[in-house]
Amino acid sequence: MYSASTQIRVRYAETDQMSYVYYGNYAMYYEVGRVEALRQLGFEYKRLEAQGVMMPVHDLECKYLSPAKYDQLLTVKVIIRELPKARMIFEYEVTNEEGILVNTGKTTLVFIHMETNRPCRAPEELTEVLTPYFQ
């Protein structure tokens, strides 16, 4: 299993009239978490695209447990429980500064060859950097 965390400060524009994070912004927080989790592995997402592979989101689950509010520092923990094959599953735990779990989520992304627009296997370079976490 691999996990990584990154922090995001809630900006005013991300909140609703109640100063709560607007529900649609959690998908953006998940994306930031995914990109940073790969970066912490030493693998930048842009490398996938340079290799002709994209990773669109196939599905998204999101559960709201407690409101996150304007100016809070959130921690987005990303968990990868299995080595990717043709898809990659990311789980998320979002906590606030007090350590309260405010949101959980899960996304499934699929590897697509950009030229053919067809599914493909995860690039070997990505599975190589993840493999040590699954032994």
pLDDT at 107: 98
Q: What pTM does this model have?
A: 0.94
CATH number for 53: 3.10.129.10
Q: Could you tell me the CA-to-CA distances from 100 to 12, 25, 43, 76 in Å, in that order? A: 20, 18, 30, 12
Residue with tokens 């407690």: 66
Question: How far apart (Å, rounded) are the C-alpha atoms in residues 43 and 55?
Answer: 14
Question: How far apart (Å, rounded) are the C-alpha atoms in residues 117 and 70?
Answer: 40
For 79-100, the pLDDT digits (tens) are: 999 999 999 999 999 999 999 9
- Residue 112: which domain range? 2-134
Mean pLDDT within 15-37: 96
For 105-114, the pLDDT digits (tens) are: 999 999 999 9
For the chain, the domain total comes to 1
User: Cα torsion for 54, 40, 30, 84, to the nearest 10°?
Assistant: 50
